[in-house]
Amino acid sequence: MSDGGTGSDGRMSIAAKLGLNVFKLDKEPHIVIDHEICRAVCTKKVCVTVCPADLYELNDEGDVVVNWEGCLECGTCLICCDERALTWHYPRGQFGVQHRMS
Amino acid sequence: MERVECIVVGGGLAGLAAAYGLASEGVEVMLLERGDYPGSKNVTGGRLYTSALQEVYPELWEEAPFERPVMRELITLMAEGRQVTLEIAADSFTVPKPQSYTVIRAKLDRWLADKVTEKGGMVVTNILVDTLIKEGDKVIGIRAGEDEIGADVTIIAEGVLGLVSEAAGLRDKPAAASHALGYKEVIELPAGVIEDRWHLNSGEGAAQLFMGSVTMGMMGGGFLYTNKESVALGIVVGMDWMRRRPDDLESWQLLDGLKQLPQIRPLIAGGTVAEYSAHAIAEGGIAKVPKLLGDGYLMTGDAAGLSLNALVTVRGMDFAIASGYYAARAVLEARKTGDFSAASLSCYQTCLDHSFVLQDLRTAQAVPHVMENPRLFDHYPDAVTRLLEQVFTIGPGPTKRLMSTVFRGVRRDFLNVATLKDANQFRKL
């Protein structure tokens, strides 16, 4: 059997990997970006490259947006953002990722 | 305000170990966990070294739901287009008792939480602690949503990000320079396939580390741990190294790169990816450990920076369990007088000072600096693999004498000023 469907050959998108996880979504985001800080002082946009779930991207206006729903709650973006443009909490109790095998 | 004797913030191994010790002695302890069950938010590589836990709840480890005892250690040095794997099997890894086991936190933590409950401790899930309540410098309880709960003493086991303790001024914000990102896929494979691929007898496990081009020159490496019916395959990479990269490389791409290598593909062929997870790892060593206690509180596990990446051995969970154990002992001691001031709780510091936790962190105090040496992650894996590649190569033309090939490689890659300087630095390890 080829691995195409199961993805163990590495040809699996991040979205497909996140799709395997159990997420319980809150209505409100637990990560909020202060766009004014991003625009005013941030030149590197490291959040886009450090996030292991690939949740950060630049929109058409050039602003950073985050697809917080797929957050693995590792906090790497928070630690790496020296500009402190992120308001980052853990999701409220009973929400967020729920690991079964990690 | 509702009151209990002791609150534990977080249901990872540190918090559970603390709660178990307290509940066992009849202390009214309430552990608050934000996930659906303890372990649901927790991520390990993962392997737990149990060798240092012989005096820490020895009754527990006999029946713990571990995955496999690790009897084979593999180190794979990687460069573009070639790899060298050193495979170490030693009787002492497993006899008389295994020194380490692969683990799945969702199973292990959940099981330990059941043990806490059996002893009469309260494990409350789906509760996120928002803040500590302080009275001056003294921690007197916690706030979670609308609820406030008071306690004689609060054991902080909230994990590596330390959001609650940072907000209360008990520790600093984690810095990118002293943290790594770890992330992994759990890939399901039948037990027999795992045993065949890693040369294991039934039930035995392997741990494999990958160093070199796997992180594209950055501090870190790849890891693979065999569970019962899955393998955890992942990457650790220094956050500051990722941040400093001039190109657009994204952290998640490193694992896909590893999985696509022709040398790695056969290890996971036919497997089914079942979960994807990530975690921050404190790698700052003893220098970054915050104050471990104060009036009304104790800091444990990852929240206190108690983890150690010594290049080939990576530890954190055993430190977490031991710190939870000593935190419980300190609370029991303080409870005799009813005084939970810093002075009264100070035996926690003393116990940790005399335990493997702080002793091993002190022994390894040079490690974080050595790990900053980029040649560890590019030059050495490159040079070692090239030398061995040449030794095993028969080209189309006349072949040089074996020793001439070896000497030429050694002279070029190892007998120079940079290597001598490195050797001097590595001596401190």
Q: Which two tokens stand for residue B329?
A: 């002992």
For B70-94, the DSSP string reads: EEEEEEEEEETTEEEEEEEE-GGGT
pLDDT given at position B34: 98
- Can you state the angle between helices B402-413 and B379-391, rounded to 10 degrees? 170
**B190 in reach of chain A (CB within 8 A):** no
Selection from B310, B350, A98 nearest residue B318 by Cα: B310
Selection from B237, B309, B323 nearest residue B279 by Cα: B237
Percentages helix, strand, coil for chain A (3-state, rounded to 5) are 25, 20, 55
Residues of chain B with C-beta less than 8 angstroms from the C-beta of A78 = 161
Residues of chain B with C-beta less than 8 angstroms from the C-beta of A76 = 181, 239, 251, 278, 280
C-alpha B277/C-alpha B91 separation (Å) is 33
Contact flag A17-B276 (C-beta cutoff 8 Å)? yes
CATH number for domain B177-282, candidates 3.40.50.2300, 3.30.9.90, 3.10.180.10, 3.30.1490.100 = 3.30.9.90
Selection from A87, A78, A93 nearest residue A30 by Cα: A87
Q: Which two tokens stand for residue A5?
A: 């469907």
Contacts of B176 (CB under 8 A, 6+ apart): A79, A80, A82, B239, B240, B243
Asked if pLDDT for residue A6 goes beyond 80, the answer is: no
C-alpha B106/C-alpha B113 separation (Å) is 11
Q: Residues A3-13: what's their mean pLDDT?
A: 58
Residues of chain A with C-beta less than 8 angstroms from the C-beta of B251 = 49-52, 76
CA distance A45 to chain B (A): 9
- By percentage, how much of chain A surpasses pLDDT 90? 85
pLDDT given at position B424: 86
Check if the beta carbon of residue B141 is closer than 8 Å to that of residue B148.
yes
> Any long-range contacts for B254-257 (C-beta under 8 Å, 24+ apart)?
B254/B214, B254/B215, B254/B216, B254/B222, B255/A10, B255/B183, B255/B184, B255/B185, B255/B222, B256/A10, B256/A11, B256/A12, B257/A10, B257/B214, B257/B216
Give B403 or B345, the one with higher predicted confidence. Answer: B345
For B305-366, the DSSP string reads: T--EE-SS-EESHHHHHHHHHHHHHHHHHHHTTT--SHHHHTHHHHHHHHSHHHHHHHHTTT
Contact flag A12-B179 (C-beta cutoff 8 Å)? no
Other Cβ atoms less than 10 A from the Cβ of B59: the count is 8
For the stretch B359-415, pLDDT in tens is: 999 999 988 888 889 999 999 999 999 999 999 999 888 888 888 888 888 888 888
Asked if pLDDT for residue A8 goes beyond 70, the answer is: no
C-alpha B58/C-alpha B50 separation (Å) is 10
Asked if pLDDT for residue A82 goes beyond 80, the answer is: yes
pLDDT given at position A4: 36
pTM (two decimals): 0.96
C-alpha B79/C-alpha B73 separation (Å) is 20
What are the extents of the domains in chain B?
2-67+103-172+290-354, 177-282, 370-426
Fold of B2-67+103-172+290-354: FAD/NAD(P)-binding domain (3.50.50)
Q: Which two tokens stand for residue B332?
A: 């029991």
Give the nearest partner residue to B269 out of A8, A48, A52, using CB atoms. A8
C-alpha B7/C-alpha B26 separation (Å) is 14
* Interfacial A residues in 14-33 facing B (CB < 8 Å): 14, 17-18, 20-21, 24
* SS3 of residue B56 by DSSP: coil
Residue of A nearest to B179 (CA): A79
| DSSP element (H, E) containing B286 | none
Domains of chain A, each with CATH number or no CATH: 29-98 (3.30.70.20)
Contact flag B278-A72 (C-beta cutoff 8 Å)? yes
Give the nearest partner residue to B106 out of A46, A89, A99, using CB atoms. A99
